[in-house]
Each structure stands twice: as structure tokens, then as C-alpha cells.
Amino acid sequence: MQIHGEPNPLFAPVQVNATTVRNRFVLPAMQRGTRDYRPTPGMADTLRRTAEGGSGVIISEGAAPDHPAAYWQPAFGIIGRETVDDWRRVAHAVLGTGDTVFLMQLWHPGALRLVLDGVPNPHPGHPALSPSGLVQEDRPNGEAMTRRDLEDTKEAYVQSALIAQEVGAHGIEVHCAHGYLLDLFLWHETNRRDDEYGGATLAERAAYPAEIVSAIRAATGPDFVISCRFSQWKEVDYGARIAEHPDDLGPFLARMRDAGVDMFHVSTRRFDAAAWPELDSRRSLASWVKTMTDRPVVAVGSVGLTTDLARDIFDNEDPELRLEEDIVRVRSGLKAGDFDLIGVGRAQIANTNLVNRVRDGDFVGLRDFRKYRDLAEAYENYVHEGQLVDQSRKTA
Ligand SMILES: Cc1cc2nc3c(=O)[nH]c(=O)nc-3n(C[C@H](O)[C@H](O)[C@H](O)COP(=O)(O)O)c2cc1C
């Protein structure tokens, strides 16, 4: 598509490792379609429709590597031998649409398991695990990982990545964001280890996430796409920072890149919000990252919506749709080299054909995102008298 004679950067292909992505739109991981630890046919159908709707990259909702301490509740999936056929159905649904790139997100709840929901441990005898037994400074849960736990968990990640490869996914995304297991290693508040997995700098604390990426790279080969998702914010602390200063980021990105990361997915509440306004009033986190790595960078957060995820899902402030004006901002960001791809989450839940509508310049009649309406089907077990009960308040 051309706009005023210029090629539209939103629809220019981009290379991620050996894989070509047809346009710049990503469906980020959004947990909403798993039951009994398995992806549902509904998940396959929704992702297929979003692929048909034009998204260049589809990322499956976060699902855990098959390790007992990673099991949370049956509403959150497992990528293990018992669920391989279910994942194959999802992969075939997406890949059958033609040229969409399909990644599966590997998510381990870490110390956040049990805490948000207060539900019983599905595997008694396997407490929640984390670097130092902390969800947050002064908020303990579960146990600090032993060397054995670190090895077993790493192996579970590798096995899940191999399953993703076996079912035909182009790659995986390692979820190092939002206060879950690998982010707990990155965050200075929750990683108090005095072995080689701790340290004073973000790059030092990235040792375990980097080790997992290297192990996945070694097992899956050079072409398998590995995305790394990280964030400043945590579910338990929206003001948290893993990097106090942009200078902390460069060595972290270099370590993860050298371990085998092909793409950085920078999760923020608003894609173009300044990350360090005191240093630069306009530069977003993705844009800072872009200056520090040669790997493609995905920006995400509130594209097309007036309200960010926290205010929407947790504070019940329904967003308004303002897609057309945000698309102009996204196009300028791409042209300015602030990022390479853009994640559109809730607006694509409400409109699985959003990307094709943008391509055609047809913004009329697109739907607002309404969580009670749009998540109710996926969360049918958890909707009670019009309210999403506690389990579904968690978002990963
Ligand atoms: C229902 C729901 C479930 C989510 N689950 C995940 C997840 O599994 N993994 C993850 O990294 N982020 C998850 N997120 C965050 C989204 O990937 C995305 O970063 C966030 O919604 C912001 O994008 P948006 O403003 O375009 O919706 C979830 C968000 C929602 C709304």
C-alpha cells in the first residue's frame, strides 16, 4: 500500500533471523484460550482469524515449560509432551493461512504463582520458585532456586522450545517481563543471589535468562527465531524499573543478543511514552533499545486505545478506540527508526481483521475493546455474575 506516493513502512517486509515477516504488525501474547493446561480449539480459531486478518507475526499466549513448579492453574497452558497435539492444531491453524510468522511464548510464573490468586498449589511438594524466594522486595513466596532447580527448569524450557519447533512454529518468545520468573532474575529487588546468577548490574543478573536462550539456541539450531520480551513494569509494581538509566540497557541487550536473541520485544504501557523523560522528553523504551542493538525491536502498548492495560484490566476503565491517529504515530515511529515492528494487543482482540483494515484505509465500524465482552468467552469458567473473578485478573 502506498500513501501519497510513498511506500507505507507499516507494510514493508522485515527480516528476523532467516525469516521474512510480511508487514510490521505483531499480535502480542495474550492469555485467554487455555483450559486443562491445553490450548482450546477457540484459541486456534482466534489466532487463525487474526492471521487471516493480516498480522505479520502471531505470538501464542504465554504457556509454561513442563516443570511442576511452573504449573499454575488449568487456565494457563503447558507446552509439554501431553499437550503437543493441541499445540500442533494451533500452529497448523495459524500457518495454514499462508505467510504469517508464528511464535510460541514460553512463560514461567516464578514466585508469582499462587500469590495473585490464593488458589491451592496444583503440585504440592513443588513450591513456587524464583531467584531468591521473593515476589517483590520484602514479599516472600516459595523458595530460592537451587542449582538443581536451575538445571531442571532450563531443561524444561529447552524441551518446550523443541516442541514449538516440532509443531512447526517459526520460533519462540522467552517471556522475561512483567515480574514473572525470568524478570525476577533481572530485577534488583528480587534477585539477591550471591552466586553467578546475581549481581549489581542488569547485565550480570541476566545470566540465567541468557543461559536459557543459549541452551534453546543450541538445541534448535541457527534459524529458529528467538524473541526476548522484557519490560520495565511488573504486575506487582507498575512503576518498577529494571533499568534505572539507559546505560544499564546496552550491556544487557548485548548479553542476550550474544546468547542468541533475534528480536527484542519491549513491553510498555504506551508504545511512544518517554522512558526517561528527565533525559529525553520523547524517546520511548523501544527507541532507546533500537539505538543499542542491531536486532529488530518490537514496540507495544495501547496502540489504538486511550487507556493502557493496567487502567483497563485492573482499574476497569474501558478504553476508547482511536486507531487512525495512532496509526499515523506508529508510521512516523517506523520512519524515524524508533522500532521495527509494532504490537497491537487488545485492539486486535476486538478486531481480528484490524491489519487488513489499516492496509485498506478502512477505519469505519471497528469495534472498541470491552474486556467483559471480549474476554468473557475465553474466560467462561471465570466469569461470575458479570465480574471476572480473581483468576482472570491476572494477565501475564
Ligand atoms: C487478556 C490479556 C492477556 C495477556 N497475556 C499476556 C501473556 O500471556 N504474555 C505476555 O507477555 N503479555 C500478556 N499480556 C500483555 C499483552 O501482550 C500486551 O503487552 C498488552 O495488552 C499491551 O498491549 P495493548 O495495549 O495493545 O493491549 C496480556 C494482555 C491481555 C489484555
Residue with cell 511506500: 7
Answer yes or no: is 75 within a domain: yes
Residue 392 forms part of a structural domain: no
Q: How far apart are CA 382 and CA 119, in angstroms?
A: 13
Which ligand 1 atom lies nearest to the CA of residue 312?
A: 31
Q: Which residue has the cell 483497563?
A: 312
C-alpha–C-alpha distance, residues 267 and 242, integer Å: 12
Torsion angle (degrees, nearest 10) of CA 210, 214, 216, 222: 130
Within-domain flag for 394: no
300 lines ligand 1 (CB under 6 A): yes
Cα 283 to averaged position of ligand 1 atoms, centre (Å): 22
Whether the CB of 346 sits within 6 Å of ligand 1 = yes
Write out the residue range of the structural domain in which residue 344 sits: 2-386
pLDDT score, position 390: 40
Q: What is the pLDDT of residue 113?
A: 86
The pLDDT value recorded for residue 383 is 42
Domain count, the chain: 1
The b-or-e profile of 110-124 (16+ CB within 10 A means b, else e) is bbbbbbbbeeebeee
pLDDT of residue 312: 84
For ligand 1, the distance from its centroid to the CA atom of residue 266, given in whole angstroms, is: 12
* Ligand 1 pocket, mutate which of 25, 26, 30, 367 (most atoms under 8 A from CB): 30
Structure confidence at residue 395 (pLDDT)? 42
List, run by run, the mean pLDDT of 10-residue segments along the chain (396 residues): 69 98 98 85 92 98 95 88 97 97 97 73 86 94 97 98 98 97 97 98 98 98 98 89 93 98 97 96 97 98 94 85 97 98 97 97 93 67 42 40
Distance 353 CA to ligand 1 centre (A): 18
pLDDT tens for each residue of 158-210: 999 999 999 999 999 999 999 999 999 999 999 999 999 999 999 999 999 99
Helix/strand number for the chain, H first, E second: 14, 22
In a domain? residue 396: no
Atom of ligand 1 at shortest range from CA of 178: 11
Q: Is residue 237 part of a domain?
A: yes
251 belongs to a structural domain = yes
For residue 292, give Cα distances in angstroms to 131, 183, 246, 384: 27, 20, 10, 47
User: How many A from CA of 395 to the centre of ligand 1?
Assistant: 6
Q: How many angstroms separate the CA atoms of 358 and 372, rounded?
A: 25
Q: Residue 394: its pLDDT value, please?
A: 41
Distance of CA 3 from the midpoint of ligand 1 (Å): 30
- CATH number of the domain to which 268 belongs: 3.20.20.70
Cβ-contact 7, 332 below 8 angstroms: no
Residue 158: inside a domain: yes
Phi, psi of 303 (to 5 degrees): -65, 125
d(CA 257, CA 229): 12
Q: Is residue 393 part of a domain?
A: no
